[in-house]
Chain A
């Protein structure tokens, strides 16, 4: 068996191994890395990223891409925090619901453009990214909603904990369980993969491609909306430029987790590991004295290397299949 085919088979294991090696290396450089406090920090910081990454996985599986999620996140977070500013007595659950709803509407609109309008995802999301970003500035009049204007109950969403685990992490776990069931054991979930791996045959098999496409962008929007509320609650501040460019990190997490940009493949377990790996890098680079100005370039290079490795692995697997067939 070729090396690349082996890698494909044990991709998750390999990723896990890499995470372990990386952690040990960082730990040797800075003993503060593997402390309970820092790990807790790391997981809390990764929670939002991983929630977004699972939505992005669905989009990428259908051969799409969503660049608008940073803007959707900002818009939902802004609207939710302006609501709690105006009505401080509101229950935090309502704020979460409101943000999720705003995000879902943003995503559904995008879904209509892609699924019904036939607009290329990159163009549609690039356009709507600016629309949503502009709207965020407009609803807030360019002002921030800062910590002292938010009631404690709202800030408590991100700082609270149950069973000793931070709420953000719990929410992320809950979403992962639901999504795991959704993509692996429901008809619609499997249809997403079918549409992604071969749209023509999916259509002929009676799957409504338009419905599936619309659905994935709507789910993505909903998750971005939810993340928006969690984000402003965590950072206790809602700004017009919240999460600008964050879509790149999310795409990076997916690509690292082995989600194929060509569509049709991607696993929940991979996305979790990809998010954690990216979370470790974000957390550890400052710990081992890497200049913050280098982080963008490092992150970009990681994405590029990851997609290229994915391609090489894919080539190896395909070659292997061909070899097996000729026998």
Chain B
């Protein structure tokens, strides 16, 4: 089976291709999960319940958005969970020291951005190092600094209004859902409707060619990693608000969840391919799956196994499909 190799600026529309997209697979899976969950628990299928469930899983979804950019670049960032912990711990520590809460929150966002910026800077300055090893070491360092700050203590006792982030509603809709919708929309525009987004795809497909075409590859890479750090800090705000206190070992394993969602969303691990909408669908797919299984008391350990297998199969899936994978990439 030969694939057409003519490259058109805009491919002619075909219904077959429209329905053969990975995103439809996610939609089908999404409804399968909903069906499974309502079979498992009679209390599941209820508008209020479905709405409130989003509050339980959307905190880490903020990292998914920039992580899509990171992985389209062909990079990876496994330090995000530690960045969450560090931002959260710094915020809590500053607040207990008497810094006003809004200031502490802003500083937490700055700390997150700084963590991301350092990752980006190291990756750009030492091109021989892959993002794997750089973020692996910063993952240990950031978590380590969190331990240095709080040791084995927990910090909390935040002002009353802070819990609004994680628990509040605006017009009957969870606040976190609204914020996520806004950011998801913004990131979709950023990736698919701006020059910046096109550059990200170009760099993911061929970093060298992009550089010679005049794309400021270093700058874009640093921006993408800084965004990832910033949104890890956003996650830290919502997570800390929801839990009411924080510890240095908070958010352990978030990097796996986030990467699993991005990969499941159809973003290629070798870069250059994938769409924002896929990752957003994956957030809700994995979120509801976890929530539903949690309702029927599936132990957390089994959940680990399921998410791990999901990640591996999501990566394997496109390789098992005939026609793609080895025979070149179809964008």
- Chain A residues with a Cβ under 8 A of chain B: 65, 113, 117-120, 122-124, 126-131, 133-135, 137-138, 142, 240, 248, 251, 255, 261-262, 291, 293-301, 303-304, 307-308, 311, 314-315
Contacts and interface: CB of A to CB of B under 8 A. Distances in A.
A138 B306 CA distance: 13
Interface stretch (B20-28, B139-147, B157-165, B287-295): B139-147
Instruction: For chain B, give the interface size range.
Output: 35 or more
Contacts of A301: 137, 141, 144
Contacts of A127: 256, 260, 308-309, 311-312, 315
B302 A124 contact: no
Contacts of A133: 301, 304
A303 B137 contact: yes
B144 A117 contact: no
A102 B26 CA distance: 35
Given A122-B132, A123-B311, A293-B148, A300 B304 contact: no
B39 interface: no
Contact of A304 (B141, B270, B303, B304): B141
A295 B151 CA distance: 11
Contact of A297 (B129, B136, B141): B141
B130 interface: yes
B211 interface: no
Contacts of B299: 137-138, 142
B144 A128 contact: no
Contacts of A119: 269, 312, 315-316
A21 B311 CA distance: 46
Contacts of A124: 312, 315
A315 B125 CA distance: 13
A128 B140 contact: no
B78 to A, nearest CB: 8
A129 B252 CA distance: 14
A295 B255 CA distance: 22
Nearest to A63: B130
21 contacts: A113-B312, A113-B316, A117-B315, A117-B316, A117-B319, A119-B315, A120-B315, A123-B263, A123-B312, A127-B315, A130-B253, A130-B304, A130-B305, A130-B311, A131-B308, A291-B151, A293-B152, A294-B148, A296-B147, A297-B147, A303-B136
A261 to B, nearest CB: 5
Given A113-B316, A134-B301, A134-B308, A297 B145 contact: yes
B302 A138 contact: yes
Interface string B71-100: 000001010000000000000000000000
A58 to B, nearest CB: 17
A214 to B, nearest CB: 16
A149 B217 CA distance: 59
A294 B302 contact: no
B203 interface: no
A126 B130 contact: no
Interface centre among A113, A293, A311 (most CB of B within 10 A): A293
A52 to B, nearest CB: 16
B148 A131 contact: no
Given A119-B315, A240-B301, 4 more contacts: A130-B256, A293-B151, A304-B134, A311-B126
Given A137-B301, A300-B137, A311-B129, A128 B148 contact: no
Nearest to A262: B128
B128 A311 contact: yes
